[in-house]
Amino acid sequence: MPDYEYYCPACAHEFTAFRDMNERAKRTACPKCKYRNCARMVSDVGAKFNGGGFYTTDHRSCDKNG
């Protein structure tokens, strides 16, 4: 499940919410002040891997032979 970053304009709290990829967009409430119309922030990270099994060395080699 992807996680999305949100910003609450009422209390300036930034938080992360996990959403199913097939879930329709819905209003997200701030866990701190319960404001119901938080804005999803644009992230500069294309993919965010959480949990065990992911390492910083997990990437395709620049070498075309392997």
Hey, what domains does the chain have and what are their CATH numbers? 1-42 (2.20.28)
DSSP 27-58: ----TTT--S-PEEPPPS-S----STT--TT-
pLDDT digit string (tens) for the chain, length 66 residues:
678 889 999 999 999 888 777 777 677 899 999 999 898 887 666 566 666 666 666 666 665 554
Give the pLDDT score at 14. Answer: 93
